């Protein structure tokens, strides 16, 4: 023990509170330290008084009743009606405050995509150019049983002009599983032909997911037949942290230049998800496409994130389909309509 610590044992000498080890340490130190010995000698007067049992009892009485432990004091205090009322009130305030905090907690920005069902469209002629898209009102409809075709012969369609050999063809969507970021290389005329062929071979129903965030889209989603409404995908905006990970951002979060943003999608069924980005050239490019499983989380893009070094708007399109889509990004986007866009604004 240090000298300071031994000095603190002085108070135990008069009351005979010291253990054998403490007493020994104190006396040994006192024999070596005159100051400590003097202090000890002064304590002797008090010790002589406290050796008397009646003197101790008188002092204990003067000190008043013993202070009860907190738990016992609380136990005695609680049964009083005023104390019970106060405790109940505090408990009610705590519960109310907790519930209020729970209801007003910031929620991650989460939107639900609800799919519209599309009726099968007749395949375009092989020689028709990809840019010659049909009117949207005809192309996109809510799912209804297809009407029986009239048996009367229709007028023959005029033969479309042949595609120029030098004209660049729109890129094809890659096979799902080979994720791409940032668009495609032109596939060439042969690729365009293949796209049209595959578009013609599409199954009877395909589903294009639309963002449910705008009110108009929500209303449309409610009007969607139940068969189509069953197909949905939720997404959450994720922001890159300082540690490199991505975490959900609260609703209404403002993105700044340099922020890296991802989407976390949660499909309610297995299928295929395509994330398209609207380029400055007014064309859509595929950011990533992949097959997904029901009730699993997927982050898109899986490599990197959307980023802008200057204030800008990034327009995205999230397409969800039960079957694999082998059409061009523009063709896919044209089916999706503007209401399916997700806009990330960098300020």
Partner 1 sequence: MEREQILLKLRERIVAFAASHIQGDIAEDVAQEVLILLHEKYHRVERLEELVPLALQIARFKIMSLRRKSQRHGEYTQVSIADIQLPDPEANPAALVERKLMLERLTQAVGQLGDRCRELLRLKLQGKNFGEIQKRMGAQSINTVYTWDYRCRQQLLDLMGGDWEAGKR
Cβ 51 to partner 1, closest distance in Å?
9
Structure tokens at 236: 């959450």
Q: Select the residue interacting with partner 1 from 10, 189, 218, 314 (CB under 8 A).
A: 10
Cβ 241 to partner 1, closest distance in Å?
38
Which among 168, 100, 102 is positioned nearest to 130, based on CA atoms? 168
Sign of CA dihedral 23, 29, 35, 37: positive
Site size toward partner 1 (CB under 8 A) is 47
Binding status of residue 59 toward partner 1 by CB under 8 A? yes
Chain-centre distance of CA 45, in angstroms? 73
Burial class (CB in 10 A: 0-12, 13-18, 19+), 125: middle
Binding status of residue 29 toward partner 1 by CB under 8 A? no
Closer of 66 and 254 to partner 1 (Cβ): 66
Q: Is the bond into 82 cis (omega within 30 degrees of 0)?
A: no
The stretch among 53-61, 149-157, 183-191, 221-229 that binds partner 1 (CB under 8 A) is: 53-61
Binding status of residue 28 toward partner 1 by CB under 8 A? yes
DSSP 336: H
Binding status of residue 268 toward partner 1 by CB under 8 A? no
Please, are residues 236 and 108 in contact by the beta-carbon 8 Å criterion? Answer: yes
Binding status of residue 184 toward partner 1 by CB under 8 A? no
Report d(CA 99, CA 82) in Å as an integer: 26
Residues 6+ apart with CB under 8 A from 10: 26, 36, 39, 40, 43
> From residue 128 to residue 167, what is the string marking binding to partner 1 with x (rule CB under 8 A)?
----------------------------------------
Report d(CA 222, CA 162) in Å as an integer: 43
Cβ 292 to partner 1, closest distance in Å?
56
The stretch among 38-46, 109-117, 189-197, 275-283 that binds partner 1 (CB under 8 A) is: 38-46
Can you give the binding site for partner 1, defined by CB under 8 A?
Answer: 5, 7-13, 15-20, 22-24, 27-28, 30-32, 34, 37-38, 40-50, 52, 55-56, 58-60, 62-64, 66-67
């Amino acid at each position: 023990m240090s000298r300071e610590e031994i000095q603190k044992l002085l108070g135990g000498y008069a009351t005979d509170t010291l253990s054998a080890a403490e007493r020994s340490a104190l006396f040994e130190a006192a024999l070596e330290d005159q100051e400590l010995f003097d202090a000890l000698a002064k304590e002797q007067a008090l010790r002589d008084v406290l050796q008397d049992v009646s003197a101790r009892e008188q002092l204990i009485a003067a000190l008043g009743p013993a202070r009860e432990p907190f738990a016992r004091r609380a136990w005695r205090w609680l049964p009083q009606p005023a104390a019970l009322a106060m405790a109940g009130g505090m408990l009610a305030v705590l519960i109310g405050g907790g519930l209020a905090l729970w209801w007003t907690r910031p929620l991650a920005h989460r939107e639900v995509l609800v799919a519209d069902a599309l009726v099968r469209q007749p395949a375009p002629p092989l020689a028709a150019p990809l840019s010659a898209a049909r009117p949207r009102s005809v192309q996109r409809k809510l799912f209804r049983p297809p009407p029986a075709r009239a048996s009367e012969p229709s007028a023959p369609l005029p033969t479309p002009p042949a595609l120029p050999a030098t004209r660049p063809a729109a890129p094809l969507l890659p096979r799902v599983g080979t994720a791409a970021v940032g668009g495609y290389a032109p596939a060439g005329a042969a690729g365009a032909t293949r796209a049209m062929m595959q578009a013609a071979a599409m199954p009877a129903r395909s589903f294009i997911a639309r963002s449910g965030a705008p009110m108009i889209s929500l209303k449309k989603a409610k009007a969607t037949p139940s068969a189509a409404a069953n197909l949905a995908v939720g997404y959450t905006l994720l922001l890159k942290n300082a540690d490199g990970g991505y975490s959900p951002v609260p609703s209404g979060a403002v993105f700044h230049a340099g922020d890296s943003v991802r989407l976390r999608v949660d499909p309610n069924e297995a299928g295929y998800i395509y994330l398209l980005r609207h380029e400055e050239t007014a064309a859509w490019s595929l950011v990533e496409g992949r097959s997904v499983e029901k009730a699993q989380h997927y982050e898109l893009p899986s490599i990197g994130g959307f980023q802008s070094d200057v204030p800008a708007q990034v327009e995205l399109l999230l397409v969800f389909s039960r079957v694999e889509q082998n059409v061009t990004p523009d063709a896919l986007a044209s089916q999706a309509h503007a209401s399916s866009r997700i806009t990330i604004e960098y300020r």
